[in-house]
Amino acid sequence: PVETPDGAQARARSLPAPVTDVAKLCVCDLLVAQCDTNCCCDPDCGAEDFSLFTACSVPVVTGDSQLCSQKAAVYSLDVEANPPERIFKLIDQVNPSIFCIHATNYKQALYLKSPEIPTPENFDRLLDKFGGSTFSAEPDSWNLDTDAQNPPDTNETYRYEYGAPVHTEDAFLRLPSPVVSSWCSDANPAGFLVNQATKCIRSVSVEKCDSIQALSMLFYINSSILASAFQVNITVQSIVVQSQNGMRTLLNSSDVLRLPMVLDGLCINAVLGVNYHITHTDTGEIIEAAAAFVLGAISKETLSIEQSFEISFTQENTQPVPLSGNPGYVVGLPVRAGFRPQGYPFPAAFSSSNKHSQLTILQSTSTQDCLAAQGARAPVLFGYNMISGCKLRITAAMKCQPLAQTLLDVLKGQSFPEYVASFGNSQAQDVLDWVPITQLHISEQMISNPLQSSCQIPVSLGIEVKWTKYGSLVNPQARIVNVTATITTSTLKQLPSGRERIIPVTSSVVFTDISSPAEPGYKAWPTINIKLPFDFFYPFV
Amino acid sequence: NKSSQLSSLPLQILLYVNGVYYIFYFLATLAMIIYKSQVFSYPDDFLAPDLAVLFLMAILEVPRLYLGFKGNLTEAEAPLGLSLGLTVGSVVLCVYLLLWQTYVLWADVLLNAVLLSAYGLESGLKVTAIAAFVS
């Protein structure tokens, strides 16, 4: 039979009616025209199938339990009978609550809403509403709400806490980032003290060069950040222009605002990356904001570009040193170390910003040759016990003292630090926050004959870091208490010429938790403070 | 002398009780509408008529009771007749809340049934009183 186009269209315009009869509803009936195991409500099952069931997976099918009285289909297996048979009962379930629904005049109250069928008339509207990668249940009211919440009270002093969105005049400081897919979403606010780096893709075209806001520098520095009592303008720190082949050049003058424009079929001055640097005080007030831009050109064939955004927060008058925890060490972050400054014990700063003063350990290489692998070092990460090593080939021609010195260099590295920060965020100025590294020497073999001048070469370095849990019981912070570096030396026996020996050299780092068990701390008992009036004992006193 | 007093005592008592009961009824129905809007899906197009009917009923109730009191005490049939007319309106709104509300809970049925029976009894007593005043 040939269907008329009208008939097909009419059928396509409405979905099939929902099934509401509890006797016909079956959620375990998954296989079409076949009997599902242990599904007592399946109409495809016959009496022989029921006799093989062990239990009913769906015992009751009922509508909304909020109704005062409703029909319920109860399925059960009568195992006493031989063979077991299914019992089907249609009962009236009564809700005894006084707030049960007696009747409802709103058809969609108890059922899910049927979705709209797209027709040529409502297609555009539906595409606008649902065509994107995300859509919310009530888009219009939602947008209105966020706009209403945004205009902040300018009389308030803005002291930010960690993670709080950074307020600007009209909304928040935005850091475009990929949300569901890789496409940029401009609604991501930057959190205070949350250093972020994001990359996302934006669809562009040369025709819309000056109309796409996110390609223009103004979009990123337009609004000023609300800080306490005044607004901080975002200044342009530097502009780097990236050419078509990827070469970047730093512009001398960063005062001129370069807006995107079309030149020779290219859209130049399009923003490819923004790097925000926010300076704040130690009380959480923002005092400075700067943005460094990377501008590039978009050609006619480019349909999308990747933009990268970064934001970093620095406290004023400090060097931006990457913290390994705040305040306790975070497992996996490098242990911060430094050197005692000249003129100690006078208060001065420990130098830890120098990368070479990190606590490092020998890194095993594929050749496993100690002498060839000088220089390959791995940073010591908090909480990660590491062991590494290499093999040393000793020939008869090698002299003891230079060999011992070389091995010491291999084990300890070029600049072995003297102090280790006890907290992840220890500042270089706080001398009490730094723990000295204790150096021990152990000789592997006891020299039985003191007259025999033997050569001692270091064969292993063991760093033991003792740490403890510090602070409250629910949020303990890791604190390094003691660091001991033990060099084990061994006697080098003189080899007959022509022979060679291979000795293993190892270095290890061990983290030991020496925290004492937590003591509960209670608040002080309230004290009763009674003072009698001065004339209480009048007239006797 | 009892025969000279035409004002109906049962009507007066019923009007007074009706007034007190209505305050409870109004607050309870309002609270239940708020409960329904939180627990069930109650779109604004359906919530607005229900709230409008409830508030309209409250607005009608005040003059209705006042005219009833005044008419009964002054033994005048005009205010009592006007009150009877307003009662008809209140009955219609009460029937709406009983039958055609978006969600009719069992508590709604009880409250509205009691109110409807009070209205019915009141109307009967008012008619009797008017007949007594006129004659």
Do the chains contact at A97 and B102, CB–CB below 8 Å?
no
Contact residues, chain B, for A99 at CB < 8 Å: 32, 35, 105-107
Count of the separate structural domains present in chain A: 3
Residue of B nearest to A104 (CA): B103
Is A358 in the same domain as A313? no
Do the chains contact at A100 and B105, CB–CB below 8 Å?
yes
Q: Does some domain include residue A389?
A: yes
Structure confidence by residue, pLDDT tens digits, A157-173? 567 888 888 888 777 88
**What's residue B71's pLDDT?**
92
What's the complex ipTM?
A: 0.84
Q: Does some domain include residue A85?
A: yes
CA distance A13 to chain B (A): 25
Query: A169 burial class (0-12, 13-18, 19+ CB within 10 angstroms)?
Result: middle
Check pLDDT > 80 for residue A345.
Answer: no
CA distance A100 to chain B (A): 5
User: Where does the pLDDT of residue B93 fall: very low under 50, low under 70, confident under 90, or very high at 90 and above?
Assistant: very high
Is A82 in the same domain as A181? no
The CA angle A36-A40-A42, to the nearest 5 degrees, is: 55
Check pLDDT > 50 for residue A235.
Answer: yes
Is A189 in the same domain as A209? yes
Residue of B nearest to A105 (CA): B102
**What's residue A1's pLDDT?**
47
Contact residues, chain B, for A108 at CB < 8 Å: 41
Mutate: best of A106, A107, A108, partner B, most B CBs <10 A: A106
Q: Is B102 on the interface with A (CB under 8 A)?
A: yes
Q: Is B35 on the interface with A (CB under 8 A)?
A: yes
CA distance B74 to chain A (A): 42
Check pLDDT > 50 for residue A346.
Answer: no
User: Where does the pLDDT of residue A347 fall: very low under 50, low under 70, confident under 90, or very high at 90 and above?
Assistant: very low
Per-domain boundaries in chain B = 9-134
Do the chains contact at A101 and B100, CB–CB below 8 Å?
no
Rounded average pLDDT over A409-433: 84
Q: How far apart are CA A180 and CA A193, in angstroms?
A: 24
Of B40, B101, B107, the CB nearest to A105: B101
Q: For A452, phi and psi rounded to 5 degrees? A: -70, 110
Top-confidence residue, A429 or A215: A215
Q: How far apart are CA B119 and CA A296, in angstroms?
A: 80
The residue among A436, A440, A417, A441 whose CA lies nearest residue A334 is A417
Three-state secondary structure readout of A177-238: EECCCCEEECCCECECCCCEEEEEEEECCCCCCCCCHHHCCHHHHCCCEECCCCEECEEEEE
Contact residues, chain B, for A109 at CB < 8 Å: 40-41, 102-103
Please state the length of chain A: 541
Is A378 in the same domain as A500? yes
Top-confidence residue, A184 or B94: B94
User: Where does the pLDDT of residue A480 fall: very low under 50, low under 70, confident under 90, or very high at 90 and above?
Assistant: very high
Structure confidence by residue, pLDDT tens digits, A45-75? 888 888 888 888 888 888 888 888 888 999 9
Residue of B nearest to A96 (CA): B106
Do the chains contact at B106 and A102, CB–CB below 8 Å?
yes
Q: How many distinct helices (H) and strands (E) make up chain B? A: 4, 1
Is A304 in the same domain as A341? no
Q: How far apart are CA A360 and CA A485, in angstroms?
A: 12
Is A310 in the same domain as A372? no
Task: Note if the bond before A189 is cis, omega within 30 degrees.
Answer: no
Q: For A525, phi and psi rounded to 5 degrees? A: -60, 140
Do the chains contact at B105 and A99, CB–CB below 8 Å?
yes
Question: Residue type for A194, please?
Answer: V
Global confidence as pTM = 0.45
Where in the sequence is the domain holding A416, given as residue range(s)? 333-513
CA distance A157 to chain B (A): 37
**What's residue A222's pLDDT?**
83
Is A47 in the same domain as A189? no
Using beta carbons and an 8 Å cutoff, which residues of A are at the interface with B? 66, 68, 97-106, 108-109
Is A348 in the same domain as A311? no
Mutate: best of B106, B110, B112, partner A, most A CBs <10 A: B106
Of B32, B102, B105, the CB nearest to A105: B102
Question: How remote is the C-alpha of A291 from its chain's centroid?
Answer: 24
Check pLDDT > 70 for residue A351.
Answer: no
Residues near A481 by beta carbon (within 8 Å), at least 6 away in sequence: A422, A435, A466, A467, A468, A514
Question: How remote is the C-alpha of A151 from its chain's centroid?
Answer: 29
Q: Does some domain include residue A422?
A: yes
Q: How far apart are CA A293 and CA A259, in angstroms?
A: 12
What are A295's strand-pairing partners?
A241, A271
Q: Which of A75, A94, A113 is the last residue of a domain?
A: A94
Is A366 in the same domain as A414? yes
Mutate: best of B34, B99, B105, B109, partner A, most A CBs <10 A: B105
CA distance A521 to chain B (A): 43
Is A442 in the same domain as A488? yes
Ramachandran sector of residue B84 (left: φ over 0; alpha: ψ -120 to 50; beta: rest): alpha
Structure confidence by residue, pLDDT tens digits, A277-305? 988 888 888 888 999 999 988 888 888 88
The mean pLDDT value of chain A amounts to 81
User: Where does the pLDDT of residue A472 fall: very low under 50, low under 70, confident under 90, or very high at 90 and above?
Assistant: confident
Q: Does some domain include residue A114?
A: no
Q: How far apart are CA A350 and CA A421, in angstroms?
A: 10
Is A343 in the same domain as A489? yes
The fraction of chain A above a pLDDT of 90, given in percent, is 11
Is A470 in the same domain as A388? yes
Q: Which residues of A310-335 are buried (b: 16+ CB within 10 A; e: fewer)?
A: bbbbeeeeeeebebbbebbbeeebbb
Chain B, 11 to 30: residues with Cβ < 8 Å from chain A are: none
